[in-house]
A and B are shown apart, each in its own frame.
Chain A
Amino acid sequence: MKAKTYKLSSESVSRLLKKLQTCSYGEDCVVAYKGHVPFLSFVIVKGEAYIENRKKLSKLDEGHLVAFDEFCQNLPLKYSIVISKGAVILAIDKTSLGDVLEIEDLVSTR
Chain B
Amino acid sequence: MSEKLKKYEQCEDCPSKGKGVFCDLEAKALNDLSHKKVTNIFKKGQTLFVQGSPPYGLYCVSKGNIKISKTSSDGKESIVRIATDGDILGHRSLFTEQNFTATATAVEDTSVCFIDKKYIMKLVEQEPSMAYQLISKLGRELGAAENKVASFIQKNVFERTCEVLLLLKESHGEKVEGKTKIVLKITREELASIVGTATESLIRILTELKNEKAISQEGKTLVIEDEEKLLSFANLNG
Contact = CB atoms under 8 A, between A and B. Distances in A.
Residue from the set A33, A37, A39, A74 with the largest chain B CB neighbour count within 10 Å: A39
B56 interface: yes
A40 B55 CA distance: 11
A93 interface: yes
Given A33-B40, A39-B56, 20 more contacts: A23-B54, A25-B53, A29-B47, A30-B47, A35-B41, A36-B40, A37-B38, A38-B38, A39-B38, A39-B57, A39-B116, A40-B56, A74-B38, A93-B56, A93-B116, A93-B117, A94-B116, A94-B118, A95-B116, A95-B117
Contacts of B43: 33
Given A30-B47, A39-B56, A40-B56, A95 B118 contact: yes
14 contacts: A23-B54, A25-B53, A33-B46, A35-B41, A37-B39, A38-B38, A39-B38, A39-B56, A93-B57, A93-B116, A93-B117, A94-B116, A94-B118, A94-B119
Contacts of B46: 30, 33
A105 B100 CA distance: 30
A contact residues, range: 10 to 19
Interface of B: 38-43, 46-47, 50, 52-54, 56-57, 114, 116-119
A57 B47 CA distance: 20
A37 B40 contact: yes
Chain A interface secondary structure, helix, strand, loop or mixed?
A: loop
Interface string A19-60: 001010110011001011111100000000000000000000
Contacts of B40: 33, 35-37
A33 B42 CA distance: 9
A-B residue pairs, 5 tightest by C-beta: A95-B118, A93-B56, A36-B40, A94-B116, A39-B114
A3 interface: no
A26 B52 contact: yes
Nearest to A77: B40
Contacts of A93: 56-57, 116-117
